[in-house]
A and B are shown apart, each in its own frame.
Chain A
Amino acid sequence: MARLRTRKHKVVLNRSVGGDAGITFLLVLLGAFMFLPMLYVIMQSLKPLDELWMFPPRFYVVNPTFRNFKDLFVLMNTSWVPFSRYIFNTVFITVLGTVGNLFFGSLAAYAFSKVMFPGRKWMFKVVRSSLMFHKTVTAVTNFIIMSALHMVDTYWALIIPAWGHTLGLYLMKQFMESNVTDAVLESARLDGASEFKTFWVIAMPMVKPAWLTLIIYSFQDLWNAGSSIYIHSEQLKSFNYAIGQITAGGIKRAGASAASQVIMMAVPILVFVITQSNIIETMGSSGMKD
């Protein structure tokens, strides 16, 4: 019989020291590959001018300064569309798009997983198969459809399609299937609650991790939306686009550009740090059975 080792009261099985060492080595190597470029962005954003343009370039910063961030704000104030407008655009689009996706997506997820209407299986299969292709495939045709609906060059061109994003719905449906028991819903129905009320009062509070996950995905999508082919008015463009314009200013703006990258990455990373455990919990039921 195999010998069982234990560590902290858990049975730890069949772990060779050589294997542990090899895995740790690989992990550190891959970790460096992932982390060093991110670290370099932060270093660049803190470098004073003479350190940005020294030869040979140095990885780390010696005299850290916030000058680049100040420059960035000065640049922001000189743009002909006020920068607050870009920020408003991104916030407006992100909030409306996410709220719609959360509400309509969870409603549909609930129906797909808990209401036994005929046709739900093949309909869900169609929804699910949309995860298999990248949305840029349909961008050109989408443009034609949107211009037919007079949505081109309005906020709605970004907001309404976000309501139909499938990844959030998919994760929500899977999570409801494994975390909302039919018995609870049945007793609510017997008490005379309508299906909508059961959904809102009983099911939704039970799937908070999935909510958060859906919100994060929708948020990431809309926050990172840069220039879009559906929007051409400068006043309607996003914060990400405006930041990109500063970066495109080239060599003179290397410092400000690094500062802008730090700001752009800080927000999604912060949001992920806060919600990580909920997202992982949701992912526990993300699997596809067939």
Chain B
Amino acid sequence: MSKTATKAVSQKDISRFRYTLKEMNRNKVGYVMIAPFMLVFTLFTVAPVVVSMVISFTDFNLLQTPNFVFLDNYIRLFLDDDIFLIAIKNTFVFAAIVGPAGYLMSFMVAWFINELEPKIRAVVTLIFYAPSISGHVYLIWGTLFSGDSYGWVNGFLLNYNLIDEEIQFFEDADYVMPLCIVVALWMSLGTSFLSFIAGLQGVDRSLYEAGAVDGVRNRWQELWYITLPSMRPQLMFGAIMSITSSFGFGGVVDALCGNPSVDYCAWTIMHHLNDYGGARFEVGYSSAIAVVLFAIMMGANALVKKLISKVGS
């Protein structure tokens, strides 16, 4: 009995294996076609992740032969590095505000403009999308909030006697983080925004008409029961785009507030990573930071995936 059963299973396995081989052979041109892309992708995207993971267990510093130090880097990170803890806190505050708020704003604006005439919609789309593609134009926030009386905000407040002397917006720990968040939000209507516009345009109009007949009473019900469920794939894609960009915002902070920002008040994990990897050449330690950041990003994405699957149910 058991013998025949084993035999049957293994025979099935063999035929499946053979089938796969046959399919591989029949479609081998597919491998040729993906080869150039996959080679570059593996070399500059996959390999760095894997190499970081390996190096994070060593004390590699670019000069000496690395020693295996097991979890020392991670222990030092979480128990011995106060600035890293500040960085983690800031990164979370930043991502927890900019990610969801930027995402919501992208969706809301896309939804608001969905029923406008196509030509007007194109103009409004441009106005909202422009800040995210305009390179370093965000530096204008530095001019607007400049610490001298020629900064527009300070000038305005001084002129109406609301303050007695200029506020050093980018050197005052109370203002730096909120300002960076505002600038990040200003730039947050990017790829996800475009994806939402397209998704909303793609919702089948007959669903709305059917919904109206079935007793959908206002636009909020329509949004929750019809629109959101039918554009779940776009919501998913948009979420990934928003999360990724909300974690990758360090460069803007540097340009506006200097590096390091005053009292490390806008110091994020990314700054910490660049500091140890780029400036101090403690590559092993910086790789541990990179692995932690990588895990946080992947975790955030997995969490959001779960949330979105519940939309409209």
Chain A interface (Cβ < 8 Å from any Cβ of B): 1-2, 4, 10-16, 19, 23, 26-27, 30-31, 33-35, 37-38, 40-41, 44, 52-53, 55-57, 59, 104-105, 107-108, 110-112, 115-120, 123, 126-127, 129-142, 144-145, 160-161, 163-164, 166-167, 169, 194-196, 199, 220, 223-224, 226, 229, 240, 243-244, 247, 254, 257-258, 261, 264-265, 268-269, 272-273, 276-277, 279-284, 286-289
Contacts and interface: CB of A to CB of B under 8 A. Distances in A.
A139 B143 contact: no
A144 B140 CA distance: 35
Interface string B2-34: 000000000000000000100110011111011
A111 to B, nearest CB: 4
Given A145-B51, A269-B134, 14 more contacts: A27-B109, A27-B113, A31-B128, A34-B127, A104-B37, A120-B30, A133-B244, A244-B136, A264-B137, A269-B130, A277-B122, A280-B125, A283-B234, A287-B199
B99 interface: no
Interface stretch (B67-75, B76-84, B170-178, B294-302): B294-302
Contact of B133 (A55, A115, A240, A268): A268
B58 interface: no
Interface string B187-221: 00101001101110110010011011101111101
A16 B252 CA distance: 41
Interface of A is mostly: helix
Chain B: number of interface residues, binned into ranges: 35 or more
A160 B109 CA distance: 37
A136 B195 contact: no
Contact of A40 (B23, B38, B144, B240): B144
Contact of B48 (A30, A127, A138): A138
12 contacts: A4-B209, A55-B150, A116-B23, A133-B244, A137-B297, A140-B287, A145-B43, A164-B45, A264-B135, A283-B199, A284-B201, A286-B233
A26 B112 contact: yes
A112 B34 contact: yes
Interface in B152-169: 152, 155-156, 158-159
A180 to B, nearest CB: 15
Contacts of A243: 136
A274 to B, nearest CB: 11
B135 A140 contact: no
Given A136-B270, A145-B47, A107 B233 contact: no
Contacts of A123: 34, 38
B287 to A, nearest CB: 7
Given A27-B113, A283-B194, A141 B24 contact: no
A120 B273 CA distance: 34
Contacts of A105: 37
Nearest to B190: A220
Contacts of B209: 4, 11, 13
B290 A141 contact: yes
Binding site of B, secondary structure by majority: helix, strand, loop or mixed?
helix
Contacts of A194: 29
B33 A131 contact: no
Contact of A287 (B46, B149, B232, B297): B232
Interface string B221-245: 1100000000111101100110111
A108 B34 contact: yes
B43 A164 contact: yes
B208 A167 contact: no
B152 A40 contact: yes
A218 to B, nearest CB: 13
Nearest to B20: A118
Given A166-B41, A199-B33, A268-B133, A11 B208 contact: yes
Contacts of A269: 126, 130, 133-134
Contacts of B191: 167
Contacts of B151: 57
B212 A140 contact: no
Nearest to A7: B115
A13 B212 contact: yes
Contacts of B211: 13
A289 B233 contact: yes
Contacts of B122: 276-277
Q: Which 8 A-B pairs have the closest CB atoms?
A: A287-B233, A134-B248, A117-B30, A140-B277, A164-B40, A138-B48, A115-B30, A283-B198
Contact of A134 (B155, B237, B247): B247
Given A117-B23, A287-B232, A161 B283 contact: no
A11 B207 CA distance: 12
B52 interface: yes
B278 interface: yes
B240 A111 contact: no
Nearest to A33: B186
Interface in B100-157: 105, 108-109, 112-113, 115, 122, 124-131, 133-137, 139-141, 143-144, 149-152, 155-156
Nearest to B29: A195
Contacts of A133: 244, 247, 293-294, 297-298
